[in-house]
Amino acid sequence: MERQQIIDGLVEILKTVRTIAPEKLAGITEDTDFIADLNTPSTEMINIAAKAEQKFGVEFDDDDIDGLGSTVKDFVDLIIRAKERE
Q: Sort residue 6 into left (φ over 0), alpha (ψ -120 to 50) or beta.
A: alpha
At 66 the pLDDT is 85
Distance, CA of 13 to CA of 73 (rounded, Å): 15
pLDDT digits (tens, 9 = 90+) for 4-62: 999 999 999 999 999 999 999 999 999 999 999 999 988 899 999 999 999 999 999 88
Question: Residue 86: pLDDT above 90?
Answer: no
- The whole-model pTM stands at 0.92
Mean pLDDT within 62-82: 92
At 32 the pLDDT is 97
